Structure 1
Amino acid sequence: MSKVRIYTIAKELGIDNAEMLSILDDLGVSYKSVSSTIEEDTVELIKGIIAEGGSRAAQSGAGASTEAEAAQTSQTQTPQPQTQVQPEQVAQAPATAAPAADSGMTAEELAELAALEAEEAAEQAATAARAELPHRAPVVTIMGHVDHGKTSLLDYIRSSKVAAKEAGGITQHVGAFEAQTSRGKVVFIDTPGHEAFTTIRARGANVADIAIIVIAADDSLMPQTREAIAHAQAAGVPMLVAINKVDLPQADPERVKADLTTINLVPEDYGGDVITVPVSARTGEGVEDLLEYISLTAELEDLRADPKGKFGGVIIESRVDKQAGVLATVMVQEGTLKVGDFLVVGENYGKVKAMTDSAGKRIKDAGPSTPVQILGFSEAPSSGELVASASNEHEARELVAQRQEQRRDEEEARKKPRLSLDDILGPLSEAHTVNLILRADTQGSLEAIQGILAKKETDDVKLNVMLAGIGAPTEGDVLLASTADATILCFSVVPSGAVKKAAENKEIDLKSYRIIYEMIDEVDRLIKGNLEPVYEEQYLGRAEVRMVIRHPKTGNIAGSYVTDGLFKRGAKARVTRGKEVVFEGTVAGLKRFKDDVREVRQGLECGINLDWDEVQEGDVIEASEMVEVEQ
């Protein structure tokens, strides 16, 4: 029995892919993506469901009208008792354990339920508002190993899918271009390479929606291929694999697919969810299929933006032209950019004097997913910097001044770090992930290290090897580590001075080892550092209150004698009177005569300030502290 791809039948039936996948879910049909195939009998079943659904919708509309009329008539004839609790009643109800009338729930439970329903309603409203926004074109970046055909593929798409240029055939390079396909516009970032991609991410911007990993069919996975995949995975963007050079006699696409499985990327042909497309950048074979998959992926991602909203964009690249001055390429992400707008980038601002699209045509405005080259900055902004708009020059200056002040405050804060409990321990009851980049001298060393690491994971700490490669670490590794908060571990390879300097500048841990178990010890330290500490209360000492000293500023001080152990300032305190515990708190202060002290030992007298005025002679104070327990 023949099979058909899901997206093909969806197109034939005139429904979107998301609706088609929903129908398949209801039927219990398994699939990997919209490019998966289904049997013809399943297709016929879906056609029947869609036809029946339209008929039932018409009937249910009439039925609902009849039921509504009947309900209205019934209510007119016989008044019904009101049993529902209104939101305002819930808000005013006292928090008691008594069940609310006719609900079987307490007022507390009803209030909680009302809050949850209000939250769900707000989420639904936000989703509905987003659904009203127009779709925008997907922005695509192409990455892969050198000489595998990234630039050639971009050149073929540009030459076949970009409209004719202006007179003279000269197009100004703007770092991105728009391709017109049968499913609409697709924007390609014309700066292939994972370093450029991650440089933009390192500055807090996500400019690409989809990553194309180009792999040569005659060469398969190479070091930079693995790096590109790691960078795309760190960004969390959908990936498509373009198996290039299939026109060559020595091409072996099946070998590429098999090799992908070794790095946990299983192609759809092998039962996985990674879409692989055989292409030839020289002949154009498969390029239409690749563009189709890009559009399908974008459809599932449901990319939308508000052209009437507040402007937001990101710098793709910039350069200084000897005649024109600073030229910067901006990818519009939200809102609409117009000639005459004031823009703020970092701690600089400028006014858009002229704007050119990717075809070299002068334009006056540009909406979401549109790359434009603008003239107006006095200094060249860096790739990845976010671009904001201001209503006038005064507002632009104000925004720059705020950013300068914020930077100074952050610099001061870095000089005097103040960590909160959350900073130290992390969120409670949350599994921690340690991101690692491994570099070794041989493949055998890498496999041995990874085998040992796999046994080191715990329920609380997961080890995520983002990239494992042979040879010395690169500046690209440092860049990836900076965006993913990763540690670079090297075995029997030495990083260059430039890489060491880059790691220092970005405050990345980069460590080299000659003995494998020294590296494993470092991983053990990383795991321990990410475990939530376990504490237990440890007894410190006991004191008897022999007199109470009245103090006008600090309150009552317990003049005490330490009968056992020691007391520390800041320790936990428990006061007992007879057999009853009358207070639990903290030792706010300790004094020996008139001096403040940190601790007082057994056999000495002291003044204990509990920040509690009810202490009495004869009370016994016990001190304790929380101590971390070895795990």
Structure 2
Amino acid sequence: MAKTRVYELAKELNISSKELIDILASEFSIKVKNHMSVLDEEDAELIKEIFVENEESDVVESSKNAKKSIVDEYEEEIDNSIKVKNKKKNNKKQSEEENNKEEINEEVVIEMKDTITVKELADKLNKPITEVIKQLMFMGIMAAINQEIDFNTAEKLAEKFNAVAIQKDKETSLESDETEDASENESYVKRPPVVTIMGHVDHGKTSILDAIKKSKVTSTEAGGITQHIGAYTVEINGEKITFLDTPGHEAFTTMRSRGAQITDIVILVVAADDGIMPQTVEAINHCKAADVPIIVAINKIDKPGANIDKVKQELTEYNLLAEDWGGNIITVPVSAHTKEGLDTLLEMILLTAEMEELIADPTRKAKGTVIEAQLDKGRGPVASLLVQNGTLNVGDSIIVGSTYGRIRAMFDDKGNKINSAGPSIPVEILGLSEVPDAGDRFNVVKDEKTARNMAEARKAKLREERIVSTNRVSLEDLYSQIQEGKVKELDVIVKADVQGSVEAVSQSLEKLSNDSVKVRVIHGAVGAITETDVTLATASNAIIIGFNVRPSSTASTLAEKEGVNIRTYRVIYDAIDDVKSAMVGMLDPEYKEVVLGTAEVRVTYKISNVGTIAGCYVLNGKITRNSSIRVVRDGIVIFESEISSLKRFKDDVKEVAAGYECGITIEKFNDVKEGDQFEAFIMEEIKPKTM
């Protein structure tokens, strides 16, 4: 019997798949899992007939009730106009009362930040400075005219003058204003889905995207590995899809995780000849944590060793059951080489997006996320943004994390100059004051002054947090730590071509820390290695790691003079391997105990000024003069020390073998008894191996 899929029937009936699923459940008592579920041909034909009949009857009923609805609407309008008039009268009275209250409050309310100078407080209280200082003295605070006082002190002082101090956070108030403005005028429309491609390295993520957008991305990247996040918009059947291509190497876990958080759908690429690999599992975990729909693209089906069923079997181990095996995970066999199955993959993306009901409001001020950022030699700070809501325009003032600016120019993913970008559209912008961090949120604000004030407030907050959380780098600090031997640290300065790489390299290196050696990235930034970096490395005894950047000639000369180690790399895991090797030299050596021999005490002699001499018989092994010794009595260790003297008859000897007698004295121990056993041992150093 022929079968029809839900999404195919929805197309014929000219309704969405979600609407059809609801109709099947409510009117026909047919429960289906998703738009990929199948219906019998008979059921499909019956639904078509009933659907057509219902449409015709709806048209007739609507024509009958047309006149009634017009009359009803007219009566409702009259009622509403009367209600509006009454409301206006009441609102006038209320607004007058509120205005009066505000006037009273304005006289006594003082708005301030965390701190305020005595002069500013006196001006706001409209009181002489001398009177304010006098009150502070009564409170036990000696403050000059330009000295800052904290909010708690200002609040108590304001009470003495019958005023109220309110702590105002300028940044949060501005942001709340933005959200209020947005909520007043919301007109949601359908937006394109944002799709992230994830999976193991060399499973064909970039190749699939390359085949879709018909341009070469892989050829420009070192070792064929994607090093930066890219965003591309593709149009299929009049509908747009935005792709985020995240790197596949494990060191970019942070970037991949961020991709999952801003994405609507994830395409999990699994090679049909390899199956599930460690980084595939990482990607699955990120998707589950972000609660994002997954479409599995089984790639390389054209290869001789391809086994699609094996991949589906391995997916079940991670609670991903393929749709054709009775689950709800869509699996699409594809080949980036032959382009087989790519059309089906794109169709599945659009259908999944339809089920997710992705909407946005293009009329509001834009907000979104930084995909990537870098410092361009000719253009200054350049940021790739993904607009998630609203419309971004050239000339808009924006705040991006602790950076701000006014958009001077905007380009789409193909490099064309554009004036505006709506929801789910990636753009590259110019005009920021600094390079923002990848993953920072951006918001459009009313003017550049507002953006600058908010950015400065955020910077000050970050600076305070950094002072509290991190140790200050200085020669004195470093020297004292090394002298005390409390902590061994390998300090690293990371410089890279883009912010995403800085973040990824830094986190990967810090993960190498263990109980013996702590890896600490003391500085990370975008751009070439400069003299400033070398100076910082000299002061903190750090090494400099450059990723896709080179040191300037002056920096190289200074580094040679100061003996600073600069290492540059093109592939990230080479950097990680080298740091692992460097850490081995810093590890404290490990020791293991080697038992040399045991001797039994047969007789003891007490000699003044010497102590107790134990007359021993060596049972096994040998006793050496430079070994440590352990006194064992009835199987219990009662003392550990060094051998003070070892004699055979009257002569000092270096060692005594098994089967011979000897005299032994132990340092700082005289309580030797007949029957005690002496165990001689040494500690051997084990050379550390590469981690």
Kept in 2: contact 1:143–1:193 (CA 8 A): yes
Kept in 2: contact 1:161–1:181 (CA 8 A): no
Q: How has the CA–CA distance of structure 1 residues 47 and 204 changed in structure 2, closer, same or farther, with 3 Å as cutoff?
A: closer
Q: How has the CA–CA distance of structure 1 residues 203 and 242 changed in structure 2, closer, same or farther, with 3 Å as cutoff?
A: closer
AA aligned opposite 2:43: T
Give the superposition deviation at 1:296.
0.6
Aligned residue pair count:
371
**In 2, Cα distance between equivalents of 1:212 and 1:376:** 34
Give the superposition deviation at 1:367.
1.2
Q: TM-score, normalised by structure 1?
A: 0.53
CA deviation digits over 1:203-244, x for unaligned, max 9? Answer: 799321111100011111111111110011111111100000
Give the superposition deviation at 1:71.
11
CA deviation digits over 1:440-499, x for unaligned, max 9? Answer: xxxxxxxxxxxxxxxxxxxxxxxxxxxxxxxxxxx99x989x9xxxxx9xxxxx976899
Is it true that 1:3 corresponds to 2:3 in the alignment? yes
Q: How has the CA–CA distance of structure 1 residues 68 and 370 changed in structure 2, closer, same or farther, with 3 Å as cutoff?
A: closer
Give the superposition deviation at 1:177.
0.9
Is it true that 1:287 corresponds to 2:288 in the alignment? no
CA deviation digits over 1:573-625, x for unaligned, max 9? Answer: xxxxxxxxxxxxxxxxxxxxxxxxxxxxxxxxxxxxxxxxxxxxxxxxxxxxx
Kept in 1: contact 2:210–2:216 (CA 8 A): no
Kept in 2: contact 1:279–1:285 (CA 8 A): yes
Give the superposition deviation at 1:501.
5.4
Give the superposition deviation at 1:24.
1.7
The equivalences for 1:213-362 within 5 A come to 213-362=268-417
Kept in 1: contact 2:192–2:358 (CA 8 A): yes
AA aligned opposite 1:242: A
Unpaired stretches in structure 1, ≥5 consecutive residues:
73-125, 163-172, 416-474, 483-487, 489-493, 506-631
Aligned match of 2:193:
138
Give the superposition deviation at 1:28.
2.4
AA aligned opposite 1:375: L
Candidates 435, 448, 451, aligned match of 1:380: 435
Kept in 2: contact 1:311–1:333 (CA 8 A): yes
AA aligned opposite 1:4: T
**In 2, Cα distance between equivalents of 1:35 and 1:68:** 40
**In 2, Cα distance between equivalents of 1:413 and 1:209:** 37
AA aligned opposite 1:293: M
Aligned match of 1:371:
426
**In 2, Cα distance between equivalents of 1:498 and 1:330:** 41
Give the superposition deviation at 1:196.
9.0
What's the secondary structure of 1:280's corresponding residue? coil
Give the superposition deviation at 1:339.
1.6
Higher relative contact order (CA 8 A, sep 6+): 1
**In 1, Cα distance between equivalents of 2:334 and 2:260:** 30
AA aligned opposite 1:22: D
Kept in 2: contact 1:141–1:212 (CA 8 A): yes
Give the superposition deviation at 1:56.
2.8
The equivalences for 1:422-437 within 5 A come to none
Aligned match of 1:43:
44
Q: How has the CA–CA distance of structure 1 residues 202 and 357 changed in structure 2, closer, same or farther, with 3 Å as cutoff?
A: same
Q: How has the CA–CA distance of structure 1 residues 219 and 161 changed in structure 2, closer, same or farther, with 3 Å as cutoff?
A: closer
Q: How has the CA–CA distance of structure 1 residues 329 and 396 changed in structure 2, closer, same or farther, with 3 Å as cutoff?
A: same
Give the superposition deviation at 1:293.
0.6
Q: How has the CA–CA distance of structure 1 residues 258 and 495 changed in structure 2, closer, same or farther, with 3 Å as cutoff?
A: farther
Kept in 1: contact 2:6–2:37 (CA 8 A): yes
Give the superposition deviation at 1:185.
0.6
What's the secondary structure of 1:178's corresponding residue? strand
CA deviation digits over 1:285-324, x for unaligned, max 9? Answer: 0000000010011111111111110210211011122222
**In 2, Cα distance between equivalents of 1:285 and 1:144:** 19
Kept in 1: contact 2:403–2:435 (CA 8 A): no
Give the superposition deviation at 1:58.
2.6
Kept in 1: contact 2:260–2:290 (CA 8 A): no
Kept in 2: contact 1:242–1:278 (CA 8 A): yes
Kept in 2: contact 1:194–1:228 (CA 8 A): no
Give the superposition deviation at 1:199.
3.2
Give the superposition deviation at 1:61.
2.9
**In 1, Cα distance between equivalents of 2:358 and 2:60:** 34
Give the superposition deviation at 1:329.
0.4
Unpaired stretches in structure 2, ≥5 consecutive residues:
74-181, 218-227, 471-502, 524-691
**In 2, Cα distance between equivalents of 1:9 and 1:160:** 35
**In 2, Cα distance between equivalents of 1:328 and 1:196:** 22
AA aligned opposite 1:13: L
AA aligned opposite 2:271: A
Give the superposition deviation at 1:408.
6.7
AA aligned opposite 1:54: E
**In 1, Cα distance between equivalents of 2:243 and 2:520:** 29
Kept in 2: contact 1:174–1:358 (CA 8 A): no
AA aligned opposite 1:372: V
What's the secondary structure of 2:453's corresponding residue? helix
Kept in 2: contact 1:205–1:386 (CA 8 A): no
Kept in 1: contact 2:196–2:259 (CA 8 A): no
Kept in 2: contact 1:32–1:268 (CA 8 A): no
Aligned match of 1:601:
none
**In 2, Cα distance between equivalents of 1:180 and 1:71:** 46
**Percent of residue pairs bearing the same amino acid type:** 46
Aligned match of 2:32:
31
**In 1, Cα distance between equivalents of 2:398 and 2:242:** 23
AA aligned opposite 1:37: V
Kept in 1: contact 2:231–2:245 (CA 8 A): yes
Kept in 2: contact 1:311–1:388 (CA 8 A): yes
Q: How has the CA–CA distance of structure 1 residues 161 and 12 changed in structure 2, closer, same or farther, with 3 Å as cutoff?
A: farther
Give the superposition deviation at 1:282.
0.5
**In 2, Cα distance between equivalents of 1:240 and 1:228:** 12
More helix by percentage = 2
What's the secondary structure of 1:214's corresponding residue? strand
The equivalences for 1:139-218 within 5 A come to 139-159=194-214, 175-182=230-237, 184-193=239-248, 199=254, 206-218=261-273
Give the superposition deviation at 1:401.
3.4
**In 2, Cα distance between equivalents of 1:141 and 1:200:** 11
Kept in 1: contact 2:298–2:333 (CA 8 A): yes
AA aligned opposite 2:59: A
Give the superposition deviation at 1:413.
10
**In 2, Cα distance between equivalents of 1:500 and 1:12:** 64
Give the superposition deviation at 1:59.
4.0
What's the secondary structure of 1:24's corresponding residue? helix
CA deviation digits over 1:319-351, x for unaligned, max 9? Answer: 122222221101111122122222211222122
AA aligned opposite 1:226: V
Task: Give the root-mean-square deviation of aligned CA atoms.
Answer: 4.0
CA deviation digits over 1:550-589, x for unaligned, max 9? Answer: xxxxxxxxxxxxxxxxxxxxxxxxxxxxxxxxxxxxxxxx
**In 2, Cα distance between equivalents of 1:287 and 1:19:** 27
Q: How has the CA–CA distance of structure 1 residues 359 and 499 changed in structure 2, closer, same or farther, with 3 Å as cutoff?
A: farther
CA deviation digits over 1:356-384, x for unaligned, max 9? Answer: 11111111111111111111123211111
Kept in 2: contact 1:315–1:330 (CA 8 A): yes
Q: How has the CA–CA distance of structure 1 residues 503 and 141 changed in structure 2, closer, same or farther, with 3 Å as cutoff?
A: farther
**In 2, Cα distance between equivalents of 1:274 and 1:500:** 43
Q: How has the CA–CA distance of structure 1 residues 217 and 71 changed in structure 2, closer, same or farther, with 3 Å as cutoff?
A: closer
Aligned match of 1:394:
449
